[in-house]
Structure 1
């Protein structure tokens, strides 16, 4: 939906100044009409005077003359110069502007709600993962130190894939560079062959969701010897 611009929408409404110019151009015609009416009134007055002289009573002798109330009327606002169509368009523009404000507020509310739902979902995954960490560590130890039969290996694989489906990533490998932001060094041991700190042994694997580390990998670090 394109952005609504109330000013552009109302550009085609009659300009109060143009309406005033139109009224000014009509003034000569009104003046001519008034002059004609004045002449007719003068003729009627002359006829009434003649009738009074002859003893006749004019037909409008007792009628009240209408008072001129035009001088008491207040000047009209610019909206009074709008045509009915212009007033309807202005009212429609006001309603559309208010509707777009409400729509923007609803979109912001919907985005906040979606972010909150995603955060609650991630918290639930973290709670389940944290509760299962001891079992996952036992599975890793069995993989490393003993042979796993096919059935147990199939179950362990299903567990890994289930966590991958929810965005859980397992990390921590022997030989990778030591990174204190994702590795928890439980021991540093000198190594004559090490040129920089590297992971020598993974005691417990690390887990993260996106950029958030749920648990750092607990490792033994091989450090260069001082020479």
Structure 2
């Protein structure tokens, strides 16, 4: 067996630089097709930016807006109301002819009762307005005739009236009584400031309270409404 010689072994080994050159020369060169494929497979920075949405845009797209939410709610309510109407129509369609007739009769009765109530209210208001207008007319006529009525009272108090004049005066009094006009004010009654207009207070030693001594002009009223207070002279206690 031959003896191992290190120097001879090292001489026989190939040079590393020569091995690299040989490998490079022996490796197949990249063809144009391979380069294009590699370029297509590697995404560029611009395509990456285009294809990758930003976090803000994705968040804005994924988050529903208030208008969208409102529209969705409106659509849901419309759908619900549509279902309700459809259910009502279906229930009407399921009624028998007799049931449908009863339902229509009930609807007509309800409408008739409502119209009747409105008519009754209108009739009551119309009656009140007519009564008020009637009363205003009577007041206007009475106010215009007050001077003549006062003259008739003075004639009655201070002179004798013939039968014809008495008949005319009585007819006038009855006409006003027919329309609810009441004449008030007499001597000797208690003084009431709500219906008496005191034009003079006369001290009287015998008077214990204020009383009507003389009626100058009679008062007139319709119901509780005083048209004119009686103008009187009042007897008052001296104290």
Same fold (TM over 0.5): yes
Could you tell me how far apart the structure 2 residues matched to 1:111 and 1:184 are? 37
Runs (4+) off by over 4 Å: 74-77
1:79 positional shift: 3.7
2:112 alignment counterpart: 99
Could you tell me how far apart the structure 2 residues matched to 1:182 and 1:101 are? 46
1:78 positional shift: 3.8
1:77 positional shift: 4.2
Q: Deviations over 1:111-142 (max 9, x none)?
A: 11111111111111111100000000000001
1:159 positional shift: 0.8
2:181 to 168, 171, 175: 168
2:126 to 92, 102, 113: 113
Indicate the RMSD between aligned Cα atoms, in angstroms. Answer: 1.5
Could you tell me how far apart the structure 2 residues matched to 1:106 and 1:136 are? 43
Gaps of 5+ in 2: 1-85
1:203 to 208, 216, 219: 216
Q: What is the TM-score normalised by the length of structure 2? A: 0.61
- Whose helix fraction is larger, Structure 1's or Structure 2's? 2
1:87 alignment counterpart: 100
Paired residues for 1:58-77 under 5 Å:
77=90
1:154 positional shift: 1.2
Q: Does 1:128 align with 2:141?
A: yes
Structure having greater relative contact order (Cα 8 Å, sep ≥ 6)? 1
Q: Deviations over 1:23-48 (max 9, x none)?
A: xxxxxxxxxxxxxxxxxxxxxxxxxx
Aligned positions, number: 153
Could you tell me how far apart the structure 2 residues matched to 1:203 and 1:150 are? 24
1:183 to 179, 187, 196: 196
Could you tell me how far apart the structure 2 residues matched to 1:78 and 1:183 are? 74
Could you tell me how far apart the structure 1 residues matched to 2:208 and 2:99 are? 82
Secondary structure at 1:173 match in 2: coil
Gaps of 5+ in 1: 1-73
1:148 positional shift: 1.0
Could you tell me how far apart the structure 2 residues matched to 1:159 and 1:202 are? 20
Q: What is the TM-score normalised by the length of structure 1? A: 0.64
2:156 alignment counterpart: 143
Paired residues for 1:5-84 under 5 Å:
77-84=90-97
Larger Rg: 2
1:82 positional shift: 2.8
